[in-house]
Structure 1
Amino acid sequence: MARFVGRENVRKRLAPLAGEPGRTTYAGGKARIETAGELIVVRPPFGLAHEGEYEVVQLDQLFEALAVDRVVAALLVRLGGYAVGVFDGERLVASKVGSRFVKGRHKKGGSSSGRFSRRRDEQARALIEEAAEVAVRVLEPWRERVEFVALGGDEPRQRVLERLPYDVYSAEVASDSD
């Protein structure tokens, strides 16, 4: 079963195993730790550059990778709202959230369906433009320091990125749709 575990809890859980008999394999951005009674696979959020195999439980490289604070920009956009933030390590250092009314879909046809559809598209466009403007204001001061961008929300997020005046997402991108 895969689950997110904070870096301090990973350290607490694994530190007693360091140096114990077993096997540790670092490959593909993951650490695979095998002991007599269990198998644990840890994949840090930004991977592991180290590659190697050890005939004992060797955790130094894993703990070093987990200790590095990364600067991550987060952009969450869905019809009706958005959030932009910058994390320096585990601390949120800049953020802004906003919402804008976007009419829900309408299933019935009739003479008004085109008007409702146009109105919804206009509202969605306005939300996307507002989210892009806010993203620029929040992310610009961090432009040179952002290492990764995390995207989430509905499909409009790509349209927000296309409206940004610079390539903020030239860093490695982690998206919930991958």
Structure 2
Amino acid sequence: MVHPIAPKNNVYKEFQIQLKSYLSPQRTISSLNQIDSESWCQETIFFPRGFDSKNIPDQKIQKIINEIDFLDNGIVIFVGNNKVTVLIPPLPMMIEKSFPGFKSKPIIDLLNNCPTFAVVLIRLGNYAIGVIKDHKLQSSKTGSRLVKNRHKKGGSSQRRFERGRERQIKELFDKICDTAKRIFTPYENEIDYIFFGGDKHVISNFHLRCPSVKKFDQIERRLPVHRPGLKALQSIEKEIWKTHLIEFIETQNVLEENNA
């Protein structure tokens, strides 16, 4: 998974950044309780899924948000005098509101929710498909299909090889698509979100070959998986629920604390 912070501007000169990434729901709630107990938060701002950071009037907040790559699920910002903590939720936030002081109930409600997930894990040659409901893998199918590695030699033999390889990839995608339809159809009206995991380019090409998966609400965050299989499916919900917390402390304030 791509890290949610990417140094694009000069924010690292203005802030000291501390990452608390990949937190489980329990650790996220514990971190929220710590923020509450420290009593520094003066305002909590909820930005929903699909919000536009250009509409944020506060330049400091906008600069911080612009440093974060993954905003598809919305974000929550806890604001203090010289400190800002950003929470990137594992699932979409739908609330758009600002609260005085510390407010965590909408996040905790989201973390305590129990949605039904469709999961498709793909790497060339292997796939795993499943439905997770009530925190259990209810239905699944794993499989493999031969896809040859790329041919490094040139000439007509390479072109024949590439045509054969493209055919193998299409056959793999069609097999995955048919299997996904069979696994997902009994839960079609229950599935809240669909997640994909594996190789980015393979997943993008699969979408083009299997438009039927677009009927589900897709979470853009790509799940990390080394080898799709039953073991990966059984542990993937832990990845789905992981949250990012990113703490920004203004550099001047950090220097003052260190020199005190």
TM range (shorter): 0.7 to 0.9
Q: 1:163–1:93: structure 2 CA closer, same or farther, 3 Å change rule?
A: same
Q: 1:84–1:123: structure 2 CA closer, same or farther, 3 Å change rule?
A: same
Kindly provide the amino acid, as one letter, of the partner of residue 79 in structure 1: L
Match of 1:4 in 2: 22
TM-score normalised by the chain length of structure 1: 0.81
Is the CA contact 2:147–2:169 (under 8 Å) kept in the aligned structure 1? yes
SS where residue 120 of structure 1 aligns? helix
Cα shift at 1:27: 2.2
Q: Write the distance in 1 (CA, Å) between the matches of 2:189 and 2:208.
A: 19
Q: Write the distance in 2 (CA, Å) between the matches of 1:122 and 1:22.
A: 57
Q: Deviations over 1:97-128 (max 9, x none)?
A: 21111111111123422332222122222211
Equivalent of residue 184 in structure 2, options 127, 130, 139: 139
Please identify, of 111-120 and 13-22, the stretch whose mean Cα deviation from structure 2 is larger.
13-22
Is the CA contact 1:79–1:102 (under 8 Å) kept in the aligned structure 2? yes
SS where residue 22 of structure 2 aligns? coil
Structure holding more strand per residue: 1
Match of 1:63 in 2: 108
Instruction: Check if 1:27 corresponds to 2:50.
Output: no
Kindly provide the amino acid, as one letter, of the partner of residue 171 in structure 1: F
Cα-Cα RMSD: 2.7
Q: Write the distance in 1 (CA, Å) between the matches of 2:80 and 2:136.
A: 34
Q: 1:114–1:16: structure 2 CA closer, same or farther, 3 Å change rule?
A: closer
SS where residue 151 of structure 1 aligns? strand
Q: Write the distance in 2 (CA, Å) between the matches of 1:33 and 1:89.
A: 31
Match of 2:120 in 1: 75
Match of 2:238 in 1: none
Please identify, of 142-151 and 85-94, the stretch whose mean Cα deviation from structure 2 is larger.
85-94
TM-score normalised by the chain length of structure 2: 0.58
Cα shift at 1:39: 3.0
SS where residue 93 of structure 1 aligns? strand
Q: Write the distance in 1 (CA, Å) between the matches of 2:186 and 2:110.
A: 26
Kindly provide the amino acid, as one letter, of the partner of residue 146 in structure 1: I
Q: Write the distance in 1 (CA, Å) between the matches of 2:20 and 2:180.
A: 32
Greater relative contact order, per chain length (Cα 8 Å cut-off, separation 6+): 2
Kindly provide the amino acid, as one letter, of the partner of residue 72 in structure 1: F
Q: Deviations over 1:10-46 (max 9, x none)?
A: 1122124447352222223322123578532112222
SS where residue 163 of structure 2 aligns? helix
Kindly provide the amino acid, as one letter, of the partner of residue 25 in structure 1: I
Q: How does 1:1-150 map to 2 (within 5 A)?
A: 1=19, 3-18=21-36, 20-23=39-42, 24-28=44-48, 29-35=74-80, 38-88=83-133, 90-150=135-195
Q: Deviations over 1:125-155 (max 9, x none)?
A: 2211211121122111111111111123343
Count of matched residue pairs: 176
SS where residue 49 of structure 1 aligns? coil
Q: Write the distance in 2 (CA, Å) between the matches of 1:133 and 1:102.
A: 18
Unaligned 5+ runs, structure 2: 1-18, 49-73, 223-260
